[in-house]
Structure 1
């Protein structure tokens, strides 16, 4: 690409040489995510991956796509761009693992007003960290300058991931039964959902984002809100490897408990969740207080401290808790599956 440049395109707001500089900066980070199956190198027209399907009777590909959402505004206000890539990966791979599929690879898309190679590298550093945490490879991506459509300092990040699972091992709720135990995996904070509401009630555009706050245990508001989404892939894989029969999984994302928990239930069964079985994180108390938000709306918007919920046979609950703790998760037994048609009941 030594001879690739266009003064006319640069004058219109798109500097292709800045794109080449960004690729040069991110290449070592991208290659650090490579796992067996990656083919080719960064810079090709398509990311190639050869999955190992040995031992699988009927491999099924599972895909997920998502973005970071308006949490990006916090990154811009804090001028901290090296963690939101983790959120982007997490929102995709946490969905994929709900079906029992192990993520294989990830691709990112970054749209920006002006290509700043240093900032792009910071963003991608978070994406590569998310890929390493989820044991998948970053096999490609795209950075696009949008002069006239976006301000110079503005950008958006989205991604796409593909995983694989043997059809007979898909987790789809068909094994759910009355009496199953519900295991909650703790979240790290707001994760990457509900930020339009959080930003509004906390008035982040004018708030002090960097000073320690007693209500947040001495952390600043900006630091708390930017805490990356927890990636649960390794923990779920550890459970499956240990022989825990996971009947259903729900990723608690946008829509909170009321929207996401029923998605893992089957007809005639309801998840009965005991709210006093897990601690609420201080950030949610602050959001509710500042916005005078009804309790139900909080649980219909945020994860409230639980980022993922698993349903397992009651006799395997202790085993599941032990394995998850060994995998580094903070976990709580938060309820059980009961008869009913509500999908979820918070008590």
Structure 2
């Protein structure tokens, strides 16, 4: 009777390459360490990231946390095989969210799940995360790269992040101070950011049949793919000095839900907001998306940021000083509306709504 010889299986045979994982860590180590703040303890590779809160900086420190992903914008990264910007999207969606409550981002952790681990691809994505953390002033103190063979297709991945910030309890921005007569200071977005991409993909790649390589005069020489992969803007370095200096009554990160959902969620009872759509120049990409998809304008302002990524609700007096401070740093800003009496409703007027 012949001897039955069984092959010795390894983890690599099942689709998980431990050596590739170790190599990817080696490739990103310098980028990660470049984000460290003085409060970071230990080194990359521990079971948990350590961060010693500077208690002398806060009287009553409150930790503010947020988590998010990039959504279906990832499909464009796969389609165009461009992975150097998507990490910034993951960071921005988290740090911008905790910023609006007055928090300084302290540290960030990322989670990256892949089908087959490509160390160079992982390094490209995580370097984008690290660069965005450094620009936001927060440390990248940990993360996880999971190789999930058979779950994601080769070359595809998902990324999510988790940010923690701190603010003094007395300085938390809740929206409670918002009152009729306040004005809205809008700070421009860098483009579509990371929301509405299911609709973007429907319009561009199903309805119009584009492949991302198309060029349009309105986009200033960028291909459609380059425009759509422009990373979400990071607002901490712009807004933290304003939070320190002024009495900010409310802040809005314009993400999924656009103007209608995001502004209304911070309004106290008895107030509403009137937005003047003529106050800023709408980026060309939004006009093109509306035309290509024949999307109702109300729907556009309900889904996209339309060129305004961050909104500060402040007194009219402070608004003038805030705009002057921003202009001195080369930052554009616009008075895009006012707070009125109402029932936590948002109305968008002007521009296309009058056509």
TM-score, reference length from structure 2? 0.93
1:99 shift after superposition: 0.3
> Which whole-Å CA distance do the structure 1 matches of 2:80 and 2:328 have between them?
34
Task: Describe how 1:89-238 pairs up with structure 2 within 5 A.
Answer: 89-203=91-205, 206-238=209-241
Residue 260 of structure 1 corresponds to 262
1:20 aligned to 2:19? no
Alpha-carbon distance in structure 1 between the residues aligned to 2:220 and 2:328: 26
Q: Which SS does the other structure have where 2:167 is aligned? A: strand
Confirm or deny: 8 A CA contact 1:104 1:137 kept in the other structure. Answer: yes
Contact 1:238 1:327 in 2 (8 A): no
Deviates more, 1:212-221 or 1:135-144: 212-221
Alpha-carbon offset, residue 215 of structure 1: 2.9
Cα offset, 1:55, TM superposition: 4.3
What is the rounded CA distance, in whole Å, between the counterparts of 1:7 and 1:214 in structure 2? 56
Distance (whole Å) between structure 1 residues aligned to residue 251 and residue 28 of structure 2: 34
- What's the CA shift for 1:178? 1.2
CA–CA distance in 1 between the matches of 2:307 and 2:133?
A: 23
Contact 2:203 2:292 in 1 (8 A): yes
- Take 1:99 and 1:328, find their aligned partners in 2: how far apart are those partners? 25
C-alpha distance in structure 2 between counterparts of 1:327 and 1:246, whole Å: 19
Distance in 1 of aligned mates of 2:9 and 2:33: 31
State the match for 2:336 in structure 1. Answer: 334
Is 2:205–2:211's contact at 8 Å kept on the other side of the alignment? Answer: no
Q: Show structure 1 runs of 5+ residues with no match.
A: 1-5
SS in structure 2 at match of 1:8 = coil
Whole-angstrom distance in 2 between the partners of 1:134 and 1:268: 35
Partner of 2:4 in structure 1? none
Structure 2 runs not aligned, ≥5 long: 1-7, 350-355
Q: Which residue of 1 is the match for residue 3 of structure 2?
A: none
**Number of residue pairs the alignment of both structures matches:** 341
Cα separation, partners in 2 of 1:185 and 1:92, compared to 1, 3 Å: same
What TM-score, normalized to structure 1? 0.96
Question: Does the Cα contact within 8 Å between 1:249 and 1:311 map onto a contact in 2?
Answer: yes
Contact in 2 for aligned 1:81/1:122 (Cα 8 Å)? yes
CA–CA separation in structure 1 for the residues paired with 2:209 and 2:29: 37
Shift of residue 279, structure 1, vs aligned partner: 1.1
Q: 2: CA distance between counterparts of 1:343 and 1:330?
A: 27
**Cα drift, residue 212 of structure 1:** 2.5
Between the aligned partners of 2:168 and 2:9, the Cα distance in structure 1 is 52
Note if 1:31 corresponds to 2:18. Answer: no
Distance, in Å, in 2 between the alignment partners of 1:60 and 1:327 is 30
- Single out whichever of 263-272 and 16-25 deviates more from structure 2: 263-272
CA distance in 1, matches of 2:273, 2:92: 24
Runs of 4+ aligned structure 1 residues displaced above 4 Å come to none
Q: In structure 1, what is the Cα distance between the partners aligned to 2:270 and 2:129? A: 40
